[in-house]
Chains A and B, each alone.
Chain A
Amino acid sequence: MEKDTLKMTVEHLDFFYGNSQALQDISLDFAPNQVTALIGPSGCGKSTFLRCLNRMNDLIPISRVKGVVTLDGMNIYDPSVDVVWLRRRIGMVFQKPNPFPKTIFENVAYGMRVNGIKDKQLIAERVEQSLTRAAIWNEVKDRLNDSALGLSGGQQQRLCIARALAVEPDVLLMDEPASALDPIATQKIEDLIHELKRNYTIIIVTHNMQQAARVSDITAFFYMGKLIETGITDRIFTRPGKKQTEDYITGRFG
């Protein structure tokens, strides 16, 4: 695929925590409106890699990045890029649901408010739209002014997804979004991802291989900071090319 038609690309990315290198020479492409799953054993660097995509690792003082990550053809690590603007374009959902200690409405409206939107009508409309897209509108429409902390774990996570959607990003990064949830809530999240990919490009880290197989179009296998193999999900899980991939998938380690 041409570089311009790819949503995001990663070229020869190296990442260092102080002196230790956590990611080595990662190159990976993300096409628009696809779901890419990042799999691998604990500590292989997949979450670190995810956080490089929206520069959340900038928050760690001793971190260093080498290489190029592009969004719509533009290098996001270029010094002229406004990180605040970038994080609006690339949204993130975290492993443990983390709604703010505010009302449900204010949680979803938060992103709009900090980005300067003041129009009450617009905010209300987008809150409803986001909660609908996150498949939770019907459950909360009568209690928008209740505290978000009163929701169940699965509901809180869908609220966090709604919150991320409200700033209208192009890309959604999800770091093990269902690992803290029960199976029914997990199912709802997975169905939601199927829906969302029509409008967003999604990159999801998961340690659950069945989930990766169910949910993603492309799968990338990480091991010890290196990208071992990447390809169409069906192929990776039925005819893995590298021995390490096969060992991980068949449960020999990890």
Chain B
Amino acid sequence: MNKMIQESRFRSSFRRRAVQAAAFWFFRLAALVNGLALCGIVYFVVKNGWRAISWTFLTQPPADSMTQGGILPCIIGTLALAIGAILVALPIGVASAIYLNEYARPGKLLRVIRLGISNLAGVPSVVFGLFGLAFFVVILKMGTSILAGSLTLAAMSLPVIIGATEEALKSVPDTYREASLGLGATKWQTVYRVVLPAALPGILTGTILSISRAAGETAPIMFTGAVFFSPQLPNSIFDEVMALPYHIYVLATAGTEIEKTRHLQYGTAIVLITLVLGMNLIAILYRSKLRRNR
């Protein structure tokens, strides 16, 4: 009798371990697919475009119907749009998150605002582009310009920045707020002197991640600020610019000599991916450094 019980225990233990091993292998494969996808894209782009990368490519404007020369105006244009977007989205996003998390009283109005923000996050980027065209370019008469493009990208980045800021604010323990108020500080002093400094790392990484995403978008800037070709570098925020993601689109579809410019298209993609992945990497490394310090 004892021997039978022992044997059945042994069998079920083996079965359980087998099921666990199968599950873990499934998880490993899933992660592997993830990594392979990224490597595949990077490999494909680099294989087709590495020939285009050169000092000339990075520092000269395009020439000869885009078959020669470089993409300097695109790099400058993308940077200008991204910086413009941060300058607008960061203050508005952080202020909104502070209001929502620290000041707003629970109730119907708060729920409506939150619903609005999360819906905004789901709006397709091309719809943002149309909105930017109708509102910033036409109604506010900004014309296609860095200003209109940046504002459109800012609108797109707002929900992500608000979300990341709120998460950072929520992670500041309430006990700090209580200690501050107990010492005779006002709510604003508490936010300004204790909560915000403690939340700043999370806010910064969230901002970098959202802006790096916005920098790589084509649809929002297509109608609002980016152009096919611009003979000179921009002088003011009311100028139009060339931009990296739009340039890829242009070279792939509408250029006059598509075959000749194929490698330039991939070269541009390399620059764009380097820029975006680079910014993401900085944000992620900074965030993990801060987590280790806490």
Given contacts A96-B175, A98-B176, A114-B193, whether A61 and B182 have CB atoms under 8 Å apart is no
Determine the distance from Cα of A38 to Cα of B178 in the docked complex, in whole angstroms: 21
Determine the distance from Cα of A160 to Cα of B106 in the docked complex, in whole angstroms: 31
Among B196-249, those with CB < 8 Å from A are 197-198
Determine how close the nearest CB of chain A comes to the CB of B274; give it in whole angstroms.
35
Determine the distance from Cα of A61 to Cα of B246 in the docked complex, in whole angstroms: 51
- A71 interfacial contact with B, CB 8 Å: no
Interface pair A98/B184, CB less than 8 Å apart: no
Interface pair B184/A94, CB less than 8 Å apart: no
Interface pair B176/A61, CB less than 8 Å apart: no
- B63 interfacial contact with A, CB 8 Å: no
- A253 interfacial contact with B, CB 8 Å: no
Among B162-198, those with CB < 8 Å from A are 173, 175-176, 178-186, 189, 193-194, 197-198
Determine the distance from Cα of A27 to Cα of B106 in the docked complex, in whole angstroms: 33
Interface pair A160/B184, CB less than 8 Å apart: no
Q: Please report whether the interface of chain B is mostly helix, strand, loop or mixed according to DSSP.
A: helix
- B3 interfacial contact with A, CB 8 Å: no
Given contacts A98-B173, A114-B193, whether A167 and B184 have CB atoms under 8 Å apart is yes
Determine how close the nearest CB of chain A comes to the CB of B151; give it in whole angstroms.
36
Interface pair B106/A91, CB less than 8 Å apart: no
Determine how close the nearest CB of chain A comes to the CB of B117; give it in whole angstroms.
22
Interface pair B194/A100, CB less than 8 Å apart: yes
Q: With a CB–CB cut-off of 8 A, which chain A residues contact B193?
A: 110, 113-114
Determine the distance from Cα of A247 to Cα of B83 in the docked complex, in whole angstroms: 69
Determine the distance from Cα of A115 to Cα of B194 in the docked complex, in whole angstroms: 15
Determine the distance from Cα of A91 to Cα of B185 in the docked complex, in whole angstroms: 12
Q: With a CB–CB cut-off of 8 A, which chain A residues contact B175?
A: 94, 96, 98
- A88 interfacial contact with B, CB 8 Å: yes
- B111 interfacial contact with A, CB 8 Å: no
Q: With a CB–CB cut-off of 8 A, which chain B residues contact A245?
A: none
**Residue of B whose beta carbon sits closest to that of A110:** B183
Determine the distance from Cα of A111 to Cα of B173 in the docked complex, in whole angstroms: 19
**Residue of A whose beta carbon sits closest to that of B185:** A114
Interface pair A98/B181, CB less than 8 Å apart: no
- A56 interfacial contact with B, CB 8 Å: yes
Q: With a CB–CB cut-off of 8 A, which chain A residues contact B189?
A: 114
Given contacts A85-B184, A114-B184, A163-B183, whether A56 and B106 have CB atoms under 8 Å apart is no
Determine how close the nearest CB of chain B comes to the CB of A213; give it in whole angstroms.
27
Interface pair B183/A98, CB less than 8 Å apart: no
Q: With a CB–CB cut-off of 8 A, which chain B residues contact A91?
A: 182-183
- B108 interfacial contact with A, CB 8 Å: no
Q: With a CB–CB cut-off of 8 A, which chain A residues contact B178?
A: 56, 59, 92, 94, 98
**Residue of B whose beta carbon sits closest to that of A87:** B184
- A164 interfacial contact with B, CB 8 Å: yes
Determine how close the nearest CB of chain A comes to the CB of B207; give it in whole angstroms.
21
Option from A59, A99, A167 in Cβ contact (under 8 Å) with B181: A59
Determine the distance from Cα of A98 to Cα of B182 in the docked complex, in whole angstroms: 12
Extra contacts besides A87-B184, A98-B178, A163-B183 (9): CB < 8 Å: A56-B182, A59-B178, A59-B181, A84-B184, A99-B179, A110-B180, A111-B184, A114-B183, A115-B184
**Ranked 10 nearest A-B pairs via Cβ:** A88-B184, A111-B183, A114-B185, A92-B182, A98-B175, A87-B184, A114-B189, A98-B179, A84-B184, A115-B184
Q: Can you name 23 A-B residue pairings with CB atoms under 8 Å? A: A59-B181, A61-B106, A84-B184, A85-B184, A86-B184, A87-B182, A88-B184, A91-B182, A91-B183, A94-B175, A94-B182, A98-B173, A101-B197, A110-B180, A110-B183, A110-B185, A111-B183, A111-B184, A113-B193, A114-B193, A115-B184, A163-B179, A167-B184
